[in-house]
Structure 1
Amino acid sequence: MTPQTFFRRKQRLMLLTLSGLLVSYAVASIALGFQQGALLQVQTGFLWMAQNFLPTAATFKLLPAVLFQLWRAFIIATAAAGVAGLLSLLLAVIGAKNLGQRHVTVSFLIRGFASVLRNIPIIAWALILLFSFKQNELTGFLALWFMNLGFLTRAFLETIEDFDTGKLEALIATGTSRPVAIMQGLLPEIATPTVEWLLYMIENNVRDATLVGLLTGTGIGFLFDLYFKSINYPAAGLVVAVLIVLVISLELLSTHIQRSLT
């Protein structure tokens, strides 16, 4: 195949892909009754948001209440990730195929359990638990915890199965028991990716905590909903601004910790 033929085929494939996307967009727009002219009014919406959601001097009187609820959301997010991380690590060690798991059924059940927990949306978890535990912080914690448990179990399973078990087998060959070999040979090797996954989940939990609070009527999400429905848009904008600052700060802290670990 000549270079000219290769690039022609690549261009044709790209054109076919773009054409397929455009046709799909057109069909979906017609089916949903989407008005193309609405795209021209996007700037109007952004202008209204800038005029109404910018915090004013009066809204900063509400800052202590906002920061208190934000602190509670951060604590719940961190606790959910930490508790889920401990159990996920235990399940991953039990279910990892490269650690001498003889019972395939155990590994299959752990993977299936994690997949079910992970694939149920956080909104569904919040609504299901809301009917059982009512409107309180425990409902938000459990919704985040179940989601974290499924996600981290799968993440830790993949991390452990990428681990070279040569060091582990060498420790066992010297007479070390398997639990001690795992503690001394496996956990130090996977410490960095494990911490990275936990930091990612904490960041994600802070964002999800707002949505969970909207549904369960607790925390920072409830505060935003209260201000928004009372047409106190500057106060709602203050909640959003504080959330953005916290998420960016967590991301910067996470990046710094990851660099120090590598």
Structure 2
Amino acid sequence: MENRLDVIKKKKIHMTLVLLIMLLITMGTSMITDFNFVEGFQSIPGTIAWMAANLIPGAEAMENFSKVLAKLWETIVLSIISTTTAGLFALFFALFGSKTTKVNQPLAVFSRFIASVFRNIPVVAWALVLVISFGHNVVTGYFALFFTTFGFLVRAFIETIDEASMESVEALNATGATYFQMVFRGVLPESLPQMVSWLFFMIDTNIRSATLVGLLTGTGIGYLFDLYYKRLDYETVGLITICIIVVVIAIEFISNKVRRLIL
């Protein structure tokens, strides 16, 4: 009983120290950046009032609805294509990088290294670099989303494969199964549902990222957002924002339904 109380006290002390450190960091950064929390909170009501007065779509904004839908569809298709193709490549790298299915150690290290490099470069950085090479077009947006998605999915797929039960793998190896038989009969059937779940998660994420990428590459809904924002047409900007929110919520709802069915 006393040992349990000591553990609880230590946890409380550790939690208090963590909270104090976070508070000190927050105060330090606010002082460095000259950010005033009181003024920030006081500006919230005015911001909400401005949004209500300027971002609610009117009749003129609704005239651009067809254009918004066309660009939004382009963004959705780009997100799905970049995610699915990145997932296909990520699967092969994950098989080589996983402890369960690796061919040899050097190839496993190489696969994990490539995934780490691609994952840790932000999608904005990829977009800016690729714009120099490919210009302002859909190809630039595709590769920017592809590279970041590839890096993330390789890591996610490796962890998924590593979590798979080793019993079926060991049983297949004991019967003299080949490498591909072990992968397709022992690993993938157990890991595939979780991998599909990761794919839906990245489609959801990439729709948001594609909007930002479009601002930099001049494509998709991001380009349209930037165009009307620079024209100070805030009602159309509000319409675009609402459409993006609706699509993201719809994709998340569908992905959650699919996850429940396959998991």
TM-score range, shorter chain: over 0.9
Q: 1:11 to 1:161 in 2, by over 3 A?
A: closer
Let me know the Cα RMSD of the aligned residues: 1.8
State the shift of 1:4 in Å: 6.1
Task: Answer yes or no: is 1:187 the counterpart of 2:188.
Answer: yes
> Scaled by the length of structure 1, what TM-score is found?
0.93
- Aligned mates of 2:11, 2:163 — CA distance in 1: 34
Question: CA deviation digits over 1:110-135, x for unaligned, max 9?
Answer: 10110000000010000000000000
State the shift of 1:136 in Å: 0.3
- Worse-superposed segment, 24-33 or 46-55: 24-33
Which structure 2 residues correspond to residues 224-243 of structure 1 after superposition, within 5 A?
224-243=225-244
- Aligned mates of 1:50, 1:162 — CA distance in 2: 48
Aligned residues: 261
- Aligned mates of 2:5, 2:168 — CA distance in 1: 51
1:97 counterpart SS class:
coil
State the shift of 1:178 in Å: 1.8
Question: CA deviation digits over 1:174-204, x for unaligned, max 9?
Answer: 3432212311222111111010000001001
Alignment check: 8 A CA contact 1:99 1:165 kept: no
- Residue identity matched to 1:65: K
**Aligned-residue identity in percent:** 38
Match in the other structure for 1:50 = 52
- Residue identity matched to 1:70: L
Which structure 2 residues correspond to residues 1-262 of structure 1 after superposition, within 5 A?
1=2, 9-39=10-40, 40-99=42-101, 101=103, 103-262=104-263
- Residue identity matched to 1:203: D
- Aligned mates of 2:253, 2:25 — CA distance in 1: 39
Q: 1:7 to 1:234 in 2, by over 3 A?
A: same
Alignment check: 8 A CA contact 2:94 2:158 kept: yes
Runs (5+) with no aligned partner, structure 1: none
Runs (5+) with no aligned partner, structure 2: none
State the shift of 1:7 in Å: 5.2
- Residue identity matched to 1:185: G
State the shift of 1:9 in Å: 4.7
- Aligned mates of 1:91, 1:8 — CA distance in 2: 46
- Worse-superposed segment, 50-59 or 195-204: 50-59
- Aligned mates of 1:17, 1:190 — CA distance in 2: 37
State the shift of 1:11 in Å: 4.4
- Aligned mates of 2:78, 2:192 — CA distance in 1: 23
Q: 1:179 to 1:135 in 2, by over 3 A?
A: same
- Residue identity matched to 2:140: T
State the shift of 1:37 in Å: 4.0
- Aligned mates of 2:137, 2:209 — CA distance in 1: 16
> Scaled by the length of structure 2, what TM-score is found?
0.93
State the shift of 1:157 in Å: 0.7
1:243 counterpart SS class:
helix
- Residue identity matched to 2:75: A
1:156 counterpart SS class:
helix
- Aligned mates of 1:16, 1:94 — CA distance in 2: 42
- Residue identity matched to 1:38: E
- Residue identity matched to 1:99: T
State the shift of 1:5 in Å: 5.6
- Worse-superposed segment, 211-220 or 89-98: 89-98
State the shift of 1:58 in Å: 2.1
- Aligned mates of 2:16, 2:88 — CA distance in 1: 49
